[in-house]
């Protein structure tokens, strides 16, 4: 299809060519690495880390430049007005410099929330490196007064916040890590339920056998960290960008198959990196959403990650129908 065929509100899912993009595809299990929403008049709303970082409107030709292709999805309901989506999208764009995005944040959160093969020592080293780097990046964004927001989270929130109702036609269904459809799990809805004494620490975006799933089941490992605050110190052990690139290239060259999880696969340094990054994510949730200070760690994490979806999650959403693919 052509870019001139796009309609306002269309979800654009990009297959990127960067090294980090290839790692995202490998770990998340889909072919897409970035997401945006078409605004009309030849512009795309998206969270970017290059050019002017933040959430901005960019010309479609510039937006898709350097990608393999762009998959286009939309709500199948033809009678839905797109204006509510544009109100939310343009509201975020109007304060776009308030937000920040980096691919390393998406990779780190995938490492934290997905069930991965931690028997692979190379993957463990990559995960420790990216989570420590993401932790440092979050600390830097806090110092600059910015809030992290992942590209696909921006798109998801445009749909979820289009109508302020308990059940609305715009809110997207996202498959949980258990493979079941999940809907209405955004922080806005969870916070509303929390106010009415609704307690639910389930987080569909977190696999129960992921690093974070383990930590949520062992809250004693996060004792003293449940008061989410801005991360004051980044981890001392940092991997260089060049070394991380070399590790990723080595990992991507290996044949990837499903392997059983070993009992000692999650090492102490991997768990420590996951714990530190979890605290940083709780801090972002506390700053953005005003998460209640007396909530348990698991509830804080569930709310902080309520809007976390990957581009691959949007690709697999049963709420969105395929329109076509733009070749670049």
Tokens 């901005």 correspond to 56
Tokens 């509830």 correspond to 299
Please, where are the H alpha helices in 161-206? 187-195
Q: What is the pLDDT of residue 239?
A: 83
Domain map of the chain by residue range? 3-254+261-327
Q: What is the pLDDT of residue 151?
A: 94
- pLDDT per residue as tens digits for the range 15-57: 998 899 999 999 999 999 999 999 999 999 999 876 667 899 9
Q: What is the pLDDT of residue 294?
A: 54
Tokens 């959430």 correspond to 55
Residues of the chain below pLDDT 50 = 194-199, 201, 224, 226-236, 263
CA distances from 1 to 4, 69, 97 (A): 8, 11, 32
Q: What is the pLDDT of residue 318?
A: 92
The span from the CA of 81 to the CA of 280, in Å, is 38
């Amino acid at each position: 299809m052509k870019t001139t065929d796009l309609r306002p509100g269309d979800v654009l899912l990009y297959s990127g060519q960067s090294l980090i993009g290839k790692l995202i595809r490998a770990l998340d299990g889909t072919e897409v690495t970035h997401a945006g929403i078409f605004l009309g008049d030849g512009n795309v709303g998206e969270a970017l880390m290059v050019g002017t970082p933040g959430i901005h409107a960019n010309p479609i030709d510039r937006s898709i430049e350097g990608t393999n292709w762009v998959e286009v999805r939309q709500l199948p309901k033809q009678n839905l007005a797109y204006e509510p989506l544009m109100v939310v999208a343009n509201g975020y764009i109007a304060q776009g410099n308030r937000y920040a995005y980096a691919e390393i944040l998406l990779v780190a959160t995938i490492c934290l929330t997905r069930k991965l093969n931690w028997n692979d020592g190379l993957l463990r080293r990559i995960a420790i490196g990216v989570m420590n780097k993401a932790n440092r990046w979050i600390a830097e964004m806090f110092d600059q007064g910015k809030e992290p927001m992942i590209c696909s989270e921006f798109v998801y929130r445009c749909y979820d916040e289009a109508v302020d109702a308990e059940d609305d036609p715009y809110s997207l269904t996202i498959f949980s890590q258990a493979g079941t459809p999940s809907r209405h799990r955004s922080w806005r809805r969870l916070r509303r339920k929390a106010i009415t004494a609704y307690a639910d620490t389930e987080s569909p975006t977190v696999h129960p056998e992921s690093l974070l799933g383990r930590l949520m089941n062992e809250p004693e490992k996060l004792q003293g960290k449940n008061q989410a605050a801005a991360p004051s110190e980044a981890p001392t052990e940092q991997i260089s960008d060049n070394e991380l690139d070399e590790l990723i290239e080595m990992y991507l060259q290996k044949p990837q198959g499903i392997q059983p999880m070993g009992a000692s696969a999650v090492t102490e340094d991997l768990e420590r990196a996951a714990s530190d990054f979890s605290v940083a994510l709780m801090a972002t949730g506390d700053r953005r959403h005003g998460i209640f200070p007396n909530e348990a760690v698991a509830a804080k994490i569930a709310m902080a990650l309520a809007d976390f979806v990957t581009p691959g999650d949007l690709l697999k959403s049963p709420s969105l129908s395929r329109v076509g693919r733009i070749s670049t």
